């Protein structure tokens, strides 16, 4: 194993997938010669040529549309949207076409397409480069939505996404790209889509999170010696509701942490599921710690993103209820 950042882990995974399968094609803005804004595809065009690592025009609708057509006719494209904020011109292609092809053709066609894109705050990108739009896609049947929180999971989840046979929105928390290192095997391995990770075990409270907030939550729990279950969802659609309910039945108290806006964020759906399936086990109201319902600020990022103080305030409230 080698210590890698998430950028290095993703780059090495794409390299191996391309080496093992000649049908793997990469498409995206500036991903070839430049290696992408965050250098995830650096060096791959030199190695595999311009015919397999395509620098596209600045046209997300075209990128996703080309990827969909390639996937339906036997190629295995992995497309990159430069920032998740730029994905919306391709929204119709994704939710009205790609997500529904298998259903509308009676399982005659599928779209084995992975759409990679960095999302979230933490790099002072301002309101057009920092959004967390996962709920838009979780609302769409036919898609899978995946978000790794560390380099090890990034590789295993990307391989599983590639092999799933269905369209996957692969959300990469840009704040984690280079800030965390973990040991990553050189060979390919898989992490099951729809399977959460229990990162810490405790009996006082269940803290549910994903993406860039995982490291914030774990650091907070460790520093403050909170006796908590910490669940990293890893995949948002499908979601591991069994892992959530099992933990809630043990602790009776729940805090949900994500950086996306509060209204109709993942915390709302998780709260509803817990209320439907484990209401009798709750000892306190469920509390959400989220981003506010405003455009993502440029100067006041630290006030927008959930932090140790807000997380501990929520934990104290449910423990002392």
Catalytic residue check, 129: yes
For residue 146, the model assigns a pLDDT of: 98
Q: Which residue in 79, 180, 175 sits closest to 130, CA to CA?
A: 175
> 3-state class of 76 per DSSP?
strand
Secondary structure of 148-176 in HEC code, one letter for each residue: CCCHHHHHHHHHHHHHCCCCEEEEEEHHH
> Measured over all CA atoms, what is the biggest interatomic distance in the chain, rounded to whole angstroms?
61
Q: 189, 152 in Cβ contact below 8 A?
A: no
Q: 257, 218 in Cβ contact below 8 A?
A: no
Catalytic residue selected from 52, 76, 116, 129 = 129
User: The whole model's pTM is what?
Assistant: 0.97
Cis geometry, peptide bond prior to residue 238 (ω within 30 degrees of 0): yes
Query: Across the 321 residues of the chain, what is the mean pLDDT of every consecutive 10-residue run?
Result: 94 98 97 96 97 96 97 96 97 97 94 97 91 97 98 98 97 96 95 98 98 97 97 98 98 98 97 97 98 93 95 98 94
CB atoms < 10 A from the CB of 225, how many?
A: 8
Domains assigned to the chain: 2-184 (3.40.50.970), 197-319 (3.40.50.920)
- Name the DSSP class of 265: S
For residue 1, the model assigns a pLDDT of: 78
CA-based angle 57:38:42, to the nearest 5? 80
Q: Which residue in 286, 239, 283 sits closest to 262, CA to CA?
A: 286
What is the C-alpha to C-alpha distance for residues 266 and 71, in angstroms, rounded to an integer? Answer: 29
């Amino acid at each position: 194993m080698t210590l890698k950042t998430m950028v290095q882990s993703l780059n090495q995974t794409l390299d191996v997938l391309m080496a093992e399968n000649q049908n793997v094609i990469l498409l995206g803005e500036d991903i070839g010669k430049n290696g992408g804004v965050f250098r995830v595809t650096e060096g791959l065009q030199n190695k595999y040529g311009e015919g397999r690592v395509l620098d596209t025009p600045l046209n997300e609708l075209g990128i996703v549309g080309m990827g969909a057509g390639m996937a339906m006719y036997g190629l295995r494209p992995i497309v990159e949207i430069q920032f998740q904020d730029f994905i919306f011109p391709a929204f119709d292609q994704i939710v009205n076409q790609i997500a529904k092809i298998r259903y509308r053709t009676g399982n005659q066609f599928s779209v084995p397409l992975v759409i990679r894109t960095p999302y979230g705050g933490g790099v002072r990108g301002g309101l057009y480069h920092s959004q967390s739009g996962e709920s838009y896609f979780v609302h769409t049947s036919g898609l899978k939505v995946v978000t790794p929180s560390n380099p090890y999971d990034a590789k295993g989840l990307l391989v599983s996404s590639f092999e799933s046979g269905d369209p996957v929105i692969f959300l990469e928390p840009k704040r984690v790209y280079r800030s965390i290192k973990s040991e990553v095997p050189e060979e390919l391995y898989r992490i099951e889509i729809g399977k959460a990770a229990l990162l810490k075990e405790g009996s006082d409270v269940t803290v549910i999170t994903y993406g860039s907030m995982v490291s914030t939550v774990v650091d907070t729990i460790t520093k403050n010696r909170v006796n908590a279950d910490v669940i990293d969802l890893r995949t948002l659609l499908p979601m591991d509701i069994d892992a959530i309910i099992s933990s809630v039945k043990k602790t009776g108290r729940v805090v949900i942490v994500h950086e996306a806006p509060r209204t109709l964020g993942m915390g709302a759906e998780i709260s509803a599921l817990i209320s439907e399936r484990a209401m009798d086990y709750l000892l306190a109201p469920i509390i959400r710690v989220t981003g506010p319902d405003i455009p993502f600020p440029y100067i006041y990022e630290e006030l927008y993103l959930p932090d140790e103080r807000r997380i501990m305030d929520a934990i104290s409230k449910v423990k002392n209820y």
